[in-house]
Amino acid sequence: MTLATSPIEMASLSRSRPRIAWTLGVVGCVVAAHWYASTLPPDQPSPWVLASHLFALVLLGGLLWIGGALGVRILRLVGLGRELGLETMLFALGLGLGGVAYLVLAWGFLGLLYLWALALLLAILAVALRAELAELVAAVPTWGRAWAAERRRLRTEPILGLVLPLSVVIVVMLTLLALAPPTGYDAMLYHLAGPREFLELGRFVAWPELQQANMPFTVEMLFLLGLAFGSDELSNVLHLTFAVLTALAAYSLGKRTYGPRVGLFAGSIVLSSPSLGFYAPIANIDYGWAYFDFLAVYAFLVWMQDRAERWLVLAGLAGGLSLGSKYLGVLTCAGIGLGIVVEVTRSGRRDLVRLVRLAALFAVPAALVAAPWYVKNWLWLGSPVWPFLRPEGGTELGDYFFSQMNRGRTPIDLLLLPLK
């Protein structure tokens, strides 16, 4: 019996219908207020701007809800995610948000980057994932009790007891910064400019004036959703969310491996990083890439502990999302591949067939997830990792792009790159 047809769950949903109606009413008011605020002159100070901030947070909540539900569905296909604990939700959000980004990419290849088409995509996902969406709502009280229990436990710790309140203060302060209009250099140059151009064209294309927009763009596909619905602030708060999720992942891995104290210490290191206050609340993609990267390492380390091969598949899926966000993801994937070789060798059984099978469990999912970006570059620009490893006689479009790159081509020019 599925959750959607369970009598207990149906009764619970019946009792919650008034709350759902109130929630939908509040969301409708926020959307209407945001629409009115968007009609005001941009240089006119107005308290209605608060509605736009709330609208960005509503969009973020909806995206995390749908992404989490999609991720739970994916995890259960792999054989994981039966309990909706912190570890499950961290992987579910990573895989689910990545899945939403790839669906937006598919919509772009089909020439459907329009508001109505993207709204239809999200509606289709909501209907298809209605059981998982309801399950996530039902799990919220359990998460609240777990949070309260952790707070009570930490009150007995003289120093670690400060971790949670200080973490909340940091996140709240950074959220206020993230709700400001995007101003970051990279954000304005291509992280947001690229998706905006794709929206204007209604499709995903090679774009001469935005060289970086021709590289892996997974996180930017999520930014595109915010821009389509009229919120450039979503990109800021989403990037901050990736940073917070990375800190939670560090906590979860530390707790699983060495206990809650080490977990808190690991999470605190991420949240106290000097770069967090500068990079997290702006529309960059680095924390999104770091989140996918860390999940790949996390899953690999869990496989090393319990040898359940489904964790290697999970590591491959997360590694593919890392490769789909930045070329640098290849370093982590190569490291995990080397780790598989070392682990098989250490076991004392030099079984080549087993090594190939384990490597394939990681490499095949990673390659399949990353493939759309690299195949696109190969077909459009003549190199899967454009502008690197460009073969002579590449496509005419690739030749034009390469000629516009702001760097020299001689060995001296390459040596001087760090100084330029």
pLDDT of residue 41: 81
Q: Please list the ranges in the chain whose pLDDT falls under 70.
A: 1-20, 208-209, 348-350, 390-409, 414, 417-420
Quote the distance between the C-alpha of residue 94 and its chain's center. Answer: 5
Residue 269: what pLDDT?
A: 93
Q: What is the spatial distance between Cα 312 and Cα 400, in angstroms, rounded to a whole number?
A: 40
Chain centre to alpha carbon of residue 117: 22
Angle at 370 between CA 318 and CA 223, to 5 degrees: 80
- Spell out the alpha helix ranges (H) of 179-232: 185-186, 193-201, 218-228
Question: What pLDDT, on the 0 to 100 scale, is given for residue 13?
Answer: 47
The answer for 210, left when phi > 0, alpha when psi is -120 to 50, beta otherwise, is beta
Is-contact 198 205, C-beta < 8 A? yes
As given in the structure block, the two tokens for residue 367 are 């390659």
CA geometry: angle at 79 spanning 73 and 81, to 5°? 55
> What pLDDT does 213 receive?
86
What the block records as the tokens of 276 is 């967090």
Question: Any idea which residue has 């994916």 for tokens?
Answer: 74
CA 69, distance to chain mean position in Å, is: 14
Length of the chain: 420
CA distance 10 to 16: 10
CA distance 23 to 8: 22
The single-letter DSSP state of residue 391 is P
Q: What angle do CA 68, 289, 194 make, to 5 degrees?
A: 95
Nearest CA among 385, 406, 390 for reference residue 215: 385
The average confidence (pLDDT) of the chain is: 87
Find the farthest-apart pair of alpha carbons in the chain and give their distance in angstroms, rounded.
72
Residue 386, pLDDT score: 78
Q: How far apart are CA 38 and CA 230, in angstroms?
A: 8
Question: What is the rounded distance in angstroms from the CA atom of residue 387 to the CA atom of residue 393?
Answer: 13
Model pLDDT, residue 32: 84
- Helix ranges (H only) for 187-327 are 193-201, 218-228, 233-258, 260-271, 274-279, 286-306, 310-323
pLDDT per position as a tens digit, 267-285: 999 999 988 999 999 999 9
Domain ranges of the chain: 54-311
Q: Note the pLDDT tens digit of each residue in 157-183.
A: 777 778 888 999 999 999 999 999 888
Query: What secondary structure does DSSP assign to 55-79, as a single string?
Result: HHHHHHHHHHHHHHHHHHHHHHHHT
